[in-house]
Structure 1
Amino acid sequence: MDASQNESCGETKSAMHTWRYRHHFTYKADQGKNIIVQCNLCLPRVNLLSTSKTSTSNLKKHLDRTHLGCEARPDAKRGRRREEYNGEDSRQGQLKRLKAEIISKCMNQAKIDQLIFNYIVEDCQSFHVLEQPGFQKLIAGLTEGLRSMDRITLFAKVDLSFSKMRVELMAKLATVQYVCTTADVWSANNGSFFGMTCHWIDGDSLERKSAALGFARLQGRLTHDSLAGKIHDMHSAYNVESKVQTTVTDNASPFVNVFKEFAVDSTDSDDDIGMFDNVSAVLEAEPEQDMLLFLPTVQRCASHTLEQIVTEDFWQAVSQGPTCQLYYSAMSKVYSIWSKCHHLQVGMEAAEEIKKMPLFVPSVVRWNVEYSALQKVVSLTERELTELSARLDVTRLQPEEMDFLKEYVTVFHPLAFALELFQAEQKCYLGLVIPTVLSLKNKLNEHKDAAKYFGDVILAMVTAINVRFRELFSSSEAKFATATTPQFRLWWLAASEREEMCSQLATMASLVEPADVAETNPCRNVSTIESEDDFFSYGSAKNSSHNQERGVTEEIRSYVEGTGKSLECLQDFPRVKQLFLKYNTTLPSTAPVQRLFSQKGNLVTLQRNFLTDDYFERIQLLRYNSNLCPLLNE
């Protein structure tokens, strides 16, 4: 009997049971872990073979050596499925080869060069990566023989793409009526860098657009003259001198000196630097200062001013108050936890295991980062805090200290929220500042009476807000910007002042050219901003009137009495929309230019890549502007 008939005779199932060549062998007997079979192709000669129950390799070798050719054929019935699989594998192989051929035809050298160029610019990679053997082998392996471009080709592509970007950006700016710029200076690698970004609002979609104008190395001694020259040069390079409404800077001394030095009327003192200074840049100067005639009005960064209140005024109030010792004690223990989590991997793992969230050491520059880290600490339960302190070997926070920190987090949450609002680029306008500051004061005052530890500190901070933002509330530009923002309109004004503001808006709206006034559209659905409604306080709303052909006064009155909060509502009030574009183009914060500096690795790239200052600047501008002006694609 052959092997196919052995099941009925009690043969133990083995690897031969499903083997497609089993019909060439006849089962004889078991022999431990092996079985004895007779080769049918060797008959009439008796040829007994031994093979493992789990393998047919011996038998396959016998067939290959002795019966190679047409004698040893697979069983037609048992081999059909295997042949179908083999055919399927063959078809898949053909498809893979066809796909590889298509890829090789589409992936030409120009395409590879473009992908490498995008990789270098977008991720700020070293130019020397092109010359590394591993990278070259990677490209050759992925592209089946194509090579990586050399540095000469890369420099040429940078030049070509930068020229194309400049042309496209200047064409976009030529169609814009109002722009705002932000400027800042950053020191790194034993050098100083001057950065400038430009911002405007699209007249149709009312979306904010942003671009970087410069990222230049400052040579020599840093003075207000050199900064003023850089501001003027970058505005001139893109033909926006007459369109710049304001240049937003921080409150650092270099920029304070720039606009103090060349302002016609500047009476500010160092102790009461306002948020927004209405400074004229027209100079009755000597001939060598003619280049500074086009400096725009300066406005100070709102988020920087709030941070000054926290780092200076808050610190002074706490250090002189009765809770000074409690503050030092609690914060020193919190910093011990942060330090252990930051420097020891065991500490971070313990924190994540206990609370299922990472704790981190906050930056000393950004108070809102420290505040977020402190929120995580106070969210720990008493048991979790005790376990964490024991595992990190730090002094445990006492109940009174935890109560102190919890009140700190609760009281100053509005301050952290205000900082986040000011640092948001897309939805942040000059008109947001006054309502935010007013709401911040109201929120702080609400906690004053119930505060156990921070009553005097709250009073000191509210006083500091009034002093540091004094110029803001006297700025006509800031008032018009707020009044033309649908989210706020005139609710932030006292009832006795609203009528006067309506008259001023009507006067400003009457100056709008008729050609600038678009045809009114039907009323649109209004969307609310729920997260910000929790922060801002609104007055009573009135029903809006139907839109129709109307005069300036009627349009202003209809807008003021409206309830819509979406910017889309401005499409129904064309004159108000023009005023919104004029006054709200300005950003209240230098956050965009700070992001230009803080992009990962950009300030170390110059040293790492051995780039000249010009090419370093070009790479950074291409990178920042890639969303507005896509990288060159040949």
Structure 2
Amino acid sequence: FDCGISSSHTYDVIEAEIEEIHSSYGLQGKVIATVTDNASNFAKAFRVCQPCHLESESENKEGDDEEPTFTDVIEALSTTSGDAQFSLPPHYKCASHTINLISTTDVDKHLNSCADTKAIYRSSIAKCSALWTKASRSTLASEQVEVSRRKLMVPTSLHENSLHEAISRIITIPLNELNPLWVKLGIKCLNEREYQFLKDYCTVMKPLTVALDILQGDECTYGNKRPSIHPFKIILFLDASYCMLQAIKTRFDAVLDSQEGLLAMATCPKFKLRWLRDEHRREYVKQLLITECCKAAPATENTNVSQMPASPAKMDFFEFQNQPTESFSAEKEVTDFLRSGYELEILNQFPNLKKMYMKYSSPTPSSAPVERLFSLGGLVLSPKSNRMSDRRFEKLLLMRYNHCLSPKENNNFFRVFQGCNKMRLD
């Protein structure tokens, strides 16, 4: 929270600041992934600071036939660590920001590129913009709108779904009641073709707005990302769906085929394998679950544990050969999990899959909760509290944000927070 950057927000400055925060709070090696928006400086900072093992793997794949190179160990150990490159965790782009780019930039580009939709798209949006401007700047116009139906919503750049919600408010008013209102306000009326276009636009964009609302929730995990942007949820509503489907495949290419994303969604009891329609794809993800479950299982579970032999003093006349206990089966655990219920508490019955779920679903799919935290900071740091210290502001902000927690959860949270502060001061 105290990462005030006074210089330019270049990739190297961001890289050094994130590394400083990780080392201050003792987070090195504990962060699963970092979620940011789609800004190029963030993307470059994480792309340049790839972990060493990822770079070595990519180099091995490109050239396995190259001759090995040798390094002087004494020279490597004697060099100073000041020039050492930072290693940042994996980087995930904000899903909400990406879907917002699809619903605004890509859709706008597609509608303006087609001759059939360009004229009607521009005329209908221009007439809606005139109504929004009139209602927001004139009190009399706003009152007339409220008398007819209800208060209109003006689109803003800070709210991703604002354009869809603003148009939805307009089309709730029947055309025979809407045009007389526009005549009173001195605005050109919508014709039937433009009114139908706005209704079709809202129908087409509805799945993306629902996905945005889901991904921006505080309790949304990384496993909700892929099912929310599943192409089959959109193709049913689109007449010209090729543009949006291609935009989703292009912008979410790294998510759609990533192993971490597949495991995050498959280990979520709400989804499991239900969102996969291809049988071969379902079998592939199931085998991936079994493989990762074997890796997550402790070593003692993979070996047969036989019964301990009885002591000579307790030897019984009926003595038989010790039978080994049932060995751990990752396939059985995965199969039982896929046949179980859809409540989150069901993971307590499958400890290895629970570890996988906590590992791969820890990152949030969107940076919206953090942005809401920044917005809340403006309410805490008011003009009357301008002499507040950084430590006090941080504590008040966390108390304000976590006011919905129970007293026990608050105590546990601040115990961890005080431990992090003590580690940072040390």
Shorter chain as normaliser: what TM range? 0.7 to 0.9
The equivalent residue for 1:131 is: none
TM-aligned CA deviation for residue 329 of structure 1: 0.5
Contact 2:175 2:195 in 1 (8 A): no
TM-aligned CA deviation for residue 398 of structure 1: 1.3
TM-aligned CA deviation for residue 550 of structure 1: 6.3
The counterpart of 1:553, out of the listed 324, 331, 348, is 331
- Partners of 2:138 and 2:271 lie apart in 1 by 49
- Partners of 2:376 and 2:177 lie apart in 1 by 36
SS of the residue corresponding to residue 194 of structure 2 reads helix
The equivalent residue for 1:337 is: 131
Contact 2:135 2:142 in 1 (8 A): yes
The equivalent residue for 1:253 is: 40
The equivalent residue for 1:23 is: none
Residues 316 and 286 of structure 1: CA distance in aligned 2, closer, same or farther (over 3 Å): farther
The counterpart of 2:373, out of the listed 583, 587, 596, is 596
In the TM superposition, what whole-angstrom CA distance separates every residue of 1:370-408 from its partner, at most 9, and x where no partner exists?
A: 111110101101232023213322221111110100010
Q: Is 1:580 the equivalent of 2:357?
A: yes
- Partners of 2:335 and 2:329 lie apart in 1 by 10
Contact 2:155 2:166 in 1 (8 A): yes
- Partners of 2:128 and 2:327 lie apart in 1 by 63
**Code of the aligned partner of 2:222:** L
Contact 1:216 1:613 in 2 (8 A): no
Residues 253 and 616 of structure 1: CA distance in aligned 2, closer, same or farther (over 3 Å): farther
TM-aligned CA deviation for residue 603 of structure 1: 8.9
1:435-454 equivalence runs, <5 A = 435-438=227-230, 441-448=231-238, 451=239
- Partners of 1:288 and 1:361 lie apart in 2 by 52
Q: Is 1:507 the equivalent of 2:301?
A: no
TM-aligned CA deviation for residue 609 of structure 1: 2.3
Contact 2:222 2:261 in 1 (8 A): yes
Residues 397 and 549 of structure 1: CA distance in aligned 2, closer, same or farther (over 3 Å): farther
Residues 226 and 516 of structure 1: CA distance in aligned 2, closer, same or farther (over 3 Å): farther
- Partners of 1:501 and 1:386 lie apart in 2 by 54
SS of the residue corresponding to residue 251 of structure 1 reads coil
Q: Is 1:308 the equivalent of 2:80?
A: no
The equivalent residue for 2:12 is: 225
Flag the structure with higher strand content.
1
**Code of the aligned partner of 2:40:** S
**Code of the aligned partner of 2:355:** Q
The equivalent residue for 2:423 is: none
SS of the residue corresponding to residue 601 of structure 1 reads helix
SS of the residue corresponding to residue 104 of structure 2 reads helix
TM-aligned CA deviation for residue 610 of structure 1: 5.5
In the TM superposition, what whole-angstrom CA distance separates every residue of 1:292-348 from its partner, at most 9, and x where no partner exists?
A: 23x211111111111111222111111111211111110111111111221122222
Identical columns (%): 31
- Partners of 1:241 and 1:354 lie apart in 2 by 59
**Code of the aligned partner of 2:267:** T
TM-aligned CA deviation for residue 551 of structure 1: 2.7
1:21-100 equivalence runs, <5 A = none
TM-aligned CA deviation for residue 354 of structure 1: 0.8
**Code of the aligned partner of 2:330:** V
**Code of the aligned partner of 2:252:** F
1:239-388 equivalence runs, <5 A = 239-263=26-50, 287-290=81-84, 292-293=86-87, 295-322=88-115, 323-355=117-149, 357-388=150-181
Residues 510 and 346 of structure 1: CA distance in aligned 2, closer, same or farther (over 3 Å): same
Flag the structure with higher helix content.
2
TM-aligned CA deviation for residue 555 of structure 1: 1.0
Aligned length: 359
TM-score w.r.t. length of structure 2: 0.76
**Code of the aligned partner of 2:283:** E
The equivalent residue for 2:24 is: 237
Contact 2:154 2:162 in 1 (8 A): no
- Partners of 2:178 and 2:217 lie apart in 1 by 34
The equivalent residue for 1:431 is: 223
1:168-187 equivalence runs, <5 A = none
The equivalent residue for 1:409 is: 202
SS of the residue corresponding to residue 199 of structure 2 reads helix
Residues 215 and 606 of structure 1: CA distance in aligned 2, closer, same or farther (over 3 Å): farther
TM-score w.r.t. length of structure 1: 0.52
The counterpart of 2:245, out of the listed 462, 465, 484, is 462
Contact 1:216 1:617 in 2 (8 A): no
Residues 291 and 617 of structure 1: CA distance in aligned 2, closer, same or farther (over 3 Å): farther
SS of the residue corresponding to residue 254 of structure 2 reads helix
TM-aligned CA deviation for residue 598 of structure 1: 1.9
SS of the residue corresponding to residue 218 of structure 1 reads coil
- Partners of 1:216 and 1:360 lie apart in 2 by 35
- Partners of 2:205 and 2:165 lie apart in 1 by 11
Contact 1:434 1:478 in 2 (8 A): yes
TM-aligned CA deviation for residue 217 of structure 1: 1.7
The equivalent residue for 1:473 is: 256
SS of the residue corresponding to residue 296 of structure 2 reads coil
Higher relative contact order (CA 8 A, sep 6+): 2
TM-aligned CA deviation for residue 549 of structure 1: 9.6
Unaligned ranges ≥5, structure 2: 56-78, 302-325, 415-426
Contact 2:103 2:205 in 1 (8 A): no
TM-aligned CA deviation for residue 233 of structure 1: 2.3
Contact 1:606 1:616 in 2 (8 A): no
TM-aligned CA deviation for residue 249 of structure 1: 0.7
The counterpart of 1:498, out of the listed 270, 282, 286, is 282
**Code of the aligned partner of 1:325:** A
TM-aligned CA deviation for residue 445 of structure 1: 1.9
- Partners of 2:329 and 2:402 lie apart in 1 by 41
SS of the residue corresponding to residue 599 of structure 1 reads helix
- Partners of 2:2 and 2:163 lie apart in 1 by 29
In the TM superposition, what whole-angstrom CA distance separates every residue of 1:508-548 from its partner, at most 9, and x where no partner exists?
A: 1122344999xxxxxxxxxxxxxxxxxxxxxxxxxxxxxx9
The counterpart of 2:215, out of the listed 417, 422, 444, is 422
The equivalent residue for 1:11 is: none
Larger radius of gyration: 1
Contact 1:516 1:578 in 2 (8 A): no
Unaligned ranges ≥5, structure 1: 1-213, 267-284, 518-547
**Code of the aligned partner of 1:495:** E
- Partners of 1:608 and 1:387 lie apart in 2 by 50
Query: Bigger shift: 617-626 or 477-486?
Result: 617-626
Query: Bigger shift: 331-340 or 487-496?
Result: 487-496
Contact 2:161 2:209 in 1 (8 A): yes
RMSD (CA atoms): 2.9
TM-aligned CA deviation for residue 364 of structure 1: 2.6
